[in-house]
Amino acid sequence: MAEDADRKEVAEKRRHRLFKYLRKEVLPTAFCPGCGCGIVLNCYAHAVDELQLDPNDIVAVTGIGCSSWIPSPYFLGDTLHTTHGRPIPFATGVKVMQPDKTVVVIAGDGDLIGIGGNHLIHAARRNIDIKVFLVNNLIYGMTGGQLAPTTPLGISTTTSPHGNVEHPFEIAELVAAAGASYVARWTTYHVFPLMESMQKALTKKGFCFLEIRSQCPISYGRRVGQRTGSEALQEYKESSVRIEDAAEMSPEELEGKIIIGKLIEREKEEFTGNLRKLNVELRTKKTGRSPEEWSLS
Amino acid sequence: MIEIDEELCKGCGICVDFCPLKVFETSDKINSRGYYPPLPVKEKDCVGCRLCELLCPEFSIIIINE
């Protein structure tokens, strides 16, 4: 009996270590059973825990959709739950005014690519120091499974009952080409590399982008024969190809595969630093006083 | 060792299917919300890789490595 009590106590301590990053009064989550959003939240909480970051130094910005629920309400920290598709403009504002904070955007594909696609491309071009974790479930899940710009060719959805005739976005490649500092793609099955990648993104300067392929058993999975989270994860396990191996494969062999790994990592000048430098330079020239002599008025 | 908070579990079965050593089995008792939580039947086999802890979408599993 005494052993049992000890065990409970140790577990409680360990659980408490993780739960200090979560609003535990709202747990269990509102996600469907087997949803990938919970796995992303889990990896994110573990990544923040491993880095020993103070949650008060993180500002999480999010939009509308299932995956926007990951930081708000579950992650304990400052959160902005913004209008549909606009988390990146809000995050840009936060980062420019509070450059010391780590600004994280966690949102879905409908939000970041569908509604706010242009914001994403331009934030990558500016190379502003925000971390974008895109949870890509290939569909608009919350509203009942409508066609998203990431839905693969031929899949029937609520708004494409006879099959999708549009090609999907290859979003990680797009963001890498637009000029981001760090881009990687993982799935919810690859939890350990995903966690390491999140740590890398949280500590690297510049625009960091992670595409996380995630399952939606309710709105997407039932249309493609992945009715449970396990079936989708099994599919990810079997159809994922490391980017190093993909370089030696032909386009026919890569058909239907998910290329995982780090797409790009480079050092590049960052937007907020450049903006601040220019600001100081012009203000010094205009007032004739160095930044130390500036008063708040 | 494996600690499971049965009340947080939604019975998705990811831990049962993906444990490399097949430590879990689905319990035949339901929790207060009507889901079947996992049962660590072969807990002695567990090597503490923490895959189930990270794959669990509900923070229901905690692994403690002594």
Domain residues of chain A, as ranges? Answer: 17-266, 270-297
Section B34-50 average pLDDT: 91
pLDDT of residue A236: 93
Instruction: Give the model confidence (pLDDT) of B12-36 as tens digits.
Output: 999 999 999 999 999 999 999 899 9
pLDDT of residue A21: 87
Structure tokens at A10: 């140790």
Residue A260 Cα distances to A48, A166, A266, angstroms: 22, 23, 18
Write out the H or E segment, with its range, that includes residue A263.
Answer: strand A258-265
Residue A77 has what DSSP assignment?
S
Where in A199-257 does DSSP place strands (E)? 208-213, 240-242
SS (H, E, C) chain B: CEEECCCCCCCCCHHHHHCCCCCEEECCCCCCCCCCCEEECCHHHCCCCCHHHHHCCCCCEEECCC
Structure tokens at A63: 């939009």
ipTM of the modeled complex: 0.94
Q: Tokens 């577990």, residue?
A: A11
pLDDT of residue A79: 92
pLDDT of residue A296: 61
pLDDT of residue A238: 93
CATH of the domain at B40: 3.30.70.20
CA dihedral A229, A235, A237, A238 (to 10 degrees): 160
Of B14, B56, B62, the CB nearest to A14: B62
Q: Encode chain A (297 residues) as per-residue pLDDT tens digits.
A: 566 777 677 767 666 677 888 888 888 889 999 999 999 999 999 999 999 988 889 999 999 999 999 998 898 889 999 999 999 999 999 999 999 999 999 999 999 999 999 999 999 999 999 999 999 999 999 999 999 999 999 999 999 999 999 999 999 999 999 999 999 999 999 999 999 999 999 999 999 999 999 999 999 988 888 899 999 999 999 999 999 999 999 989 888 899 999 999 999 999 999 998 998 899 889 888 877 777 665
> What class, spelled out in words, does domain A17-266 have in CATH?
alpha beta
Helix A2-19 and helix A36-51: axis angle, to 10°? 90
Task: State the number of CA atoms in the 13 A half-sphere of A258 facing the CB.
Answer: 26
Rounded to a whole number of angstroms, the distance from the CA of B16 to the nearest CA of chain A is 9
A38 and B57 within 8 Å at the Cβ level: the answer is yes
pLDDT of residue B65: 77
pLDDT of residue A256: 87
The domain in which residue B54 lies consists of 2-63
Looking at the complex, does the CB of residue A33 fall below 8 Å from at least one CB of chain B? yes
Of A11, A38, A234, the CB nearest to B58: A38
Q: Number of structural domains, chain B? A: 1
